[in-house]
Amino acid sequence: MKVLETGFQKLGKTNISHCLLRKDDEYFYTDVSSIKGLVHIRCCYNNKYWVRWSKNHWWIVAGADEPDEDQSSWSCTLFEPVHVDGNAQTLRFRHVQLGHYACLWRLPPPYGSCLFAGSASPNKDLCDVCTIIDWESLLILPKHVAFKGDNGNYLSARTIEGHPYLEFASSDIGDPTVGNEVFTTHDGSVRIKSHHFGRFWRRSPNWIWADSDDSTTNNSDTLFWPVRVDKNVVALRNFGNNNFCMRLTTEGKTSCLNAGVSTISREARLEVAELVLSRNIYNVNFRLMDARIYDQRVIIMTTGEAINMTHEPHTQQVKLSYTETKSRTWKGSVSLKLGVKITMESGVPFIADGKLEISSEFSGTYEWGGTESVTTAMETLYNVTVPAMTRVTVSMIATQGSCDVPFSYSQRDTLTDGKNVIYNMDDGVYNGVNCFNVKYQTKEEKL
């Protein structure tokens, strides 16, 4: 997503996400507020909330680290979704504090196509209307995939009665007939091309043939909606008849793909496998200016005590033993990466003195989207002057915080056919938790 340095939201046409999307790499979440009917809107690009640029402006920027539900404040991040003509899939968003609709504004650069909450009335040209899709239903499939059916076989290209059918007949993921290339459209639906036939899947009449060379999205019979069933299991609903694709044996065909069931039956559950032997993530570039720090809280790391039973003050060393736990996660905002061995080279962001810094490089194998926790046992010595006949308790206190840091990266895949493919991605989000701002507190108790 193109975001100006000020954080302005450039929208153009809207498409998908938990709330909306301008182009294939631009997503926004909606977070439920504590007030019924109102939401906070968070940008995937920098994980910050929509808010007014300043108390003197009506521009809407992605600039708030935390949600703000004070409706009397210019920094309020509450928006009211307003349905358009009763259509559940189209909305306007009204800024609660202003009472104005967030609208795509037509101005010369640099503010063209940015959001401006300038009017309490709907825009007559519908420049304030967004098309939405529930985030939970959004699934971006990998680029090169194979599908395994409930019979344990991969879907493979087969010529039957002179037509390019798709049959669950191969036990080998390396079989050149099982490969498919996925093309995700602007609304989240997909078109799927068979590697073997070099054509797109098409419903005819309910059998799925790989015979279409139509490069547009105008034919609903070539469009499919992927539905997440399990971690690596999906169902594919064909737009032509709104049925799910299933393994079917009938009319002289055995275990062929057919868009013939209205529910996700056992035969409609497809296990997705990436046609990738290995993957390397590198050129990780963190956008620290777009990061946010949140959920900060003060915790007691450990305590120790020193006792002075004499009638003179003494300086003592208190040994404080404690454990420090850090966690880190690298993931993509919507893309699915399935069971592929990943090697990665990346710095590691962490919070220090309330700001973000990057530590030395991490290099090694990693499960994409998995959380790694590292716990370290540590000791420190603290000098304290203990008054006469006094017990002093020393508490080691720190702030624990979480950070979300968006990042871009390069991805090099080695496919099952030996080809190397490089993608430049912009959907990365790093999540980390660590402690910082360590302080010591003392409490005296007379003996």
As assigned by CATH, the class of the 278-446 domain is mainly beta
Is residue 430 scored above 90 in pLDDT? yes
CATH topology of domain 139-274: Trefoil (Acidic Fibroblast Growth Factor, subunit A) (2.80.10)
Please report, as a single letter, which amino acid is at residue 413: D
The C-alpha atoms of residue 30 and residue 16 are separated, in whole angstroms, by: 12
Higher pLDDT, residue 178 or 230: 178
Return the pLDDT at 333. Answer: 58
Place of tokens 């609304």: 187
Cβ atoms of 269 and 233 within 8 Å: the answer is yes
Share of residues in the chain with pLDDT > 90 (%): 66
CATH topology of domain 28-134: Trefoil (Acidic Fibroblast Growth Factor, subunit A) (2.80.10)
| pLDDT tens sequence across 125-138 | 888 887 776 655 66
Q: Give CATH 2.80.10.50 domain extents, the chain.
A: 28-134, 139-274
Is residue 353 scored above 80 in pLDDT? yes
Return the pLDDT at 215. Answer: 87
| pLDDT tens sequence across 126-177 | 888 877 766 556 678 889 999 999 999 999 999 999 999 999 999 999 999 9
Is residue 85 scored above 70 in pLDDT? yes
Q: Give CATH 2.170.15.10 domain extents, the chain.
A: 278-446
